[in-house]
Structure 1
Amino acid sequence: METTDEEFQKPFDRYYSAVIDFLKKSWQERRNFIIIVIFPLLFLSFYYLLIASNQYESEAHFVVRSDGQNAMPASGLGQMMGALGSAGGSQTEGVSVNDYLQSHDVVAKLQSQLNLVEMFRRPEADIFSRLWFANPTPEMLLKYYLNHVKVKYETETGITNVKVRAFRPKDAYILAETLLKLGEERVNDMNKRRYESAVGVAKNQLEQAEDKIAEIQLAITHFRRGDQDLDPRITGETQIKLVSQLTAQLAQARAQLDAMKETISPDSPQYIAQKQQVASLEAVVNKQKSLMTNGRTSMVTGLGSYEELRIRQEFAAKRYESAAASLVKASETAMRQKLFIIRVVEPNMPVKSTYPKPIVTIAGTALVLMLVYAIGWLIVAGTREHAA
């Protein structure tokens, strides 16, 4: 029996249909895997192996401490740093410096000193890694800066780690060195504000005491000029001594006069002379006593005003001494609490690029993508099974 062309063609049609069905089924089963895993890995491999620019990292470590700090670090490396005099530093100041090095202020200073934008737009930088805009906004520049500069404060040791990535080794080194200098400037500003805060009150009190002393001294000078008396106390003592002497002479003259009454006549020239001497002494004593006690311009009134000024002067002098001692103490305390930065590790000049890390990045991405695909496949398979 002869076979027709149609019968001869049937095996080939069945084989062709089977191949097409297999390819369709194979593509449908592998399409999601290729889209979710293979294509991204191919693109990532192409970028990291052929396009990505080398990036160099410079690292530095420092601590913030003060002379008056005695607290020892907790353990480990912090105990080793104890040889630097409790080099763990104050946690508050260390955290504040850490925060400052990641702020808009530092980015603005770096831009003015180093032209940070140009540093992040080097010609050798690839299009995906470089800073895209030549005139970025401050927020955009800060975000890019934080992607390339990492500042981490270790609470246990007090050490701050600074890591800087750039497209040139020298750029990374200069940027890390400048960050340390800016941190030192920040600490110096903190010292200045702390010193002014601690010493300012004591200085004001001392200035007030000086003004008060000057005011009282001027009042004493005016008093001496007005009364034409350099020291009323000495003048008073002299006056009292003079009155005492005159009183003694008067008593003696009276005694002589009483004795003469018994021996000679009251009309005798000797008796009359002695009587006149007693009267003269009485007049002088009364006058000197009047100068001491009577009237607004008396010696007692002047001495009282002068003593008041002297008491005020002594009180102002004690106040001045106390203010001066407070100023010295405040200055010493401020000096003991003065902060400074100790460089534990100086910035290094990179020789070999450390970024990007293509093998690690591709392998990690592949693992994540396969996990995502596996989770999605399980969800879809469970949904289908539940629907069936």
Structure 2
Amino acid sequence: MKMSKAKTIKSIILKTDQRRLARGKATLIKLGVFVLLPTLTAFIYYMFIASNFYESEAQFKVHTGSGKALNNDLTAEAYILSREALTRLENDFNFIASYQSKKVDFFNRIPEHANFEDAYQYYLKLVKISFDQTSGIATLKIKAPTPYKAKIYADALLKYSDDIILKLADKFRNEQLTFAKQELNNAESRLAVARSSLLKLEDSDHTPLNSQTISNLIPVKISLEKELAQTKIKYNKLKANLKTTSPQLVALQHKINYLISSIEQENKKIADAKTNRENPPTQSFLLEQILAERDFAEESYRSAINFLENSRNELLRQYHYLAIIVPPNMPFSAIYPNVFTGTLTVFSLTLALFGIFSLLIAIIREHVRI
């Protein structure tokens, strides 16, 4: 009886050991299939199949003509990452075809029948740009299948950025100068009209009558016109640095509209007073009115000349250009693929996933037994 029990216990222990051994072998097989095999495949790919990519790096800074850096100007960075930049690279260097070449491995090349949007998404993976808010220095990095192409692509992107900065600066300068010249032309026209009216009055013959009503309206109109001119100048100066939707510009625009409306009302009052038969203007008052208009026109003319000169000087100080701090380098070795890092990454991911799924399966089996 005792011998029978001992044999039974021994048989149970043997079966348990066999099950454990079988589970251990199964685990090793699964580990080999789901972890070691992908890791070996990754090693072979990175070591013998993956195409080399070289990275050229450059640093630049956006300056004004006075030498002051624009720390918050991201125009160049935005343009480098734009579709327009890719289009220019394609037109100048047949950029997309370089990454569709059979020399680039299947997993890293642009598909032969890819559209422009697919190529652009691929381009964003090749080009990296970072911006240091403290120093104002931007760092550009671009990857290419050869060292030479990496360098010429980086050189081209810097040139394109410089072109767009100069283009925007020229556009802004022309707009500001056009506005200043328009103000000067308006002032010249107003002065010419005032002088012409004065000459006509000297040759005219009017009957002296009361002019008290109009004389009260003229100073109000002139004051409003002066305030309007000053507000317009202030608006255009702020417009150079602020968006049109900013609270300051919106408030100034409302003020300009209000002043224009007020001047129109004053002009209407003066016109009504002039046509009033019971109280027509006297020749002396008309002379006073025209002289006041001439004085204001002369003052506006001088202000317009000063505004034009100040605008020119200010635009020279605000002139932008791209300064290359570190020119694009010719890379000597490929940064991709990194065999060790790539293989280790695949091993770590597959091992982590294997552990998670094994734990989940063990929990499910335990619940089934219960």
Q: Distance in 2 between matches of 1:375 and 1:101?
A: 42
Q: Does 1:363 align with 2:344?
A: yes
Give the SS at the match of 2:140: strand
How many angstroms does 1:164 deviate by? 0.7
Q: Does the CA contact (< 8 Å) of 1:60 and 1:346 recur in 2?
A: yes
Partner of 1:64: 62
2:135 pairs with 127, 132, 157, which one?
Answer: 157
Give the SS at the match of 1:340: strand
**What letter matches 1:361 in structure 2?**
G
Q: Distance in 2 between matches of 1:39 and 1:110?
A: 41
Partner of 1:142: 120
How many angstroms does 1:323 deviate by? 0.7
Q: Distance in 2 between matches of 1:126 and 1:222?
A: 87
Q: Does the CA contact (< 8 Å) of 1:206 and 1:323 recur in 2?
A: yes
Partner of 2:27: 29
TM-score, normalization by structure 2: 0.65
Q: Distance in 2 between matches of 1:31 and 1:196?
A: 74
Partner of 1:119: 98
Q: Does the CA contact (< 8 Å) of 2:75 and 2:165 recur in 1?
A: no
Give the count of matched residue pairs: 276
**What letter matches 1:62 in structure 2?**
F
Is the alpha carbon distance of 1:221 and 1:113 closer, same or farther for their aligned partners in structure 2, counting shifts above 3 Å?
A: farther
Partner of 1:203: 181
Give the SS at the match of 1:172: helix
Q: Deviations over 1:28-58 (max 9, x none)?
A: 3234322321222222122111111111110
Q: Distance in 2 between matches of 1:344 and 1:37?
A: 46
Q: Does 1:96 align with 2:47?
A: no
Identity %: 26
How many angstroms does 1:179 deviate by? 0.7
Partner of 2:88: 109
How many angstroms does 1:364 deviate by? 2.0
Partner of 2:224: none
If asked which structure has higher relative contact order (CA below 8 Å, sep 6+), I would say 2
Partner of 2:153: 175
User: 1:210-225, aligned counterparts within 5 Å?
Assistant: 210-216=188-194
Partner of 2:260: none
Q: Distance in 1 between matches of 2:53 and 2:353?
A: 30
Partner of 1:334: 315
**What letter matches 1:137 in structure 2?**
N
How many angstroms does 1:143 deviate by? 0.6
Q: Distance in 2 between matches of 1:169 and 1:130?
A: 17
Q: Does the CA contact (< 8 Å) of 1:166 and 1:172 recur in 2?
A: yes
Q: Deviations over 1:79-102 (max 9, x none)?
A: xxxxxx554x331x1x33222211
TM-score, normalization by structure 1: 0.62
Partner of 2:333: 352
**What letter matches 1:108 in structure 2?**
T
Q: Does the CA contact (< 8 Å) of 1:122 and 1:167 recur in 2?
A: no
1:38 pairs with 36, 39, 42, which one?
Answer: 36
In the alignment, structure 1 segments of 5+ residues that lack a partner are 1-19, 69-84, 228-300
Is the alpha carbon distance of 1:49 and 1:307 closer, same or farther for their aligned partners in structure 2, counting shifts above 3 Å?
A: same
**What letter matches 1:156 in structure 2?**
T
Partner of 1:50: 48
How many angstroms does 1:184 deviate by? 1.0
Pair member with larger Rg: 1
**What letter matches 1:331 in structure 2?**
R
Give the SS at the match of 1:121: coil
Q: Does the CA contact (< 8 Å) of 2:51 and 2:108 recur in 1?
A: yes
Q: Distance in 1 between matches of 2:287 and 2:334?
A: 85
Is the alpha carbon distance of 1:86 and 1:212 closer, same or farther for their aligned partners in structure 2, counting shifts above 3 Å?
A: closer
Partner of 2:262: none
CA RMSD of the aligned region, Å? 3.2
1:375 pairs with 347, 356, 367, which one?
Answer: 356
Is the alpha carbon distance of 1:113 and 1:218 closer, same or farther for their aligned partners in structure 2, counting shifts above 3 Å?
A: farther
How many angstroms does 1:218 deviate by? 5.7
In the alignment, structure 2 segments of 5+ residues that lack a partner are 1-17, 205-281
Q: Does the CA contact (< 8 Å) of 2:71 and 2:135 recur in 1?
A: no
Q: Distance in 2 between matches of 1:338 and 1:326?
A: 18
Give the SS at the match of 1:47: helix
Q: Distance in 2 between matches of 1:218 and 1:116?
A: 66
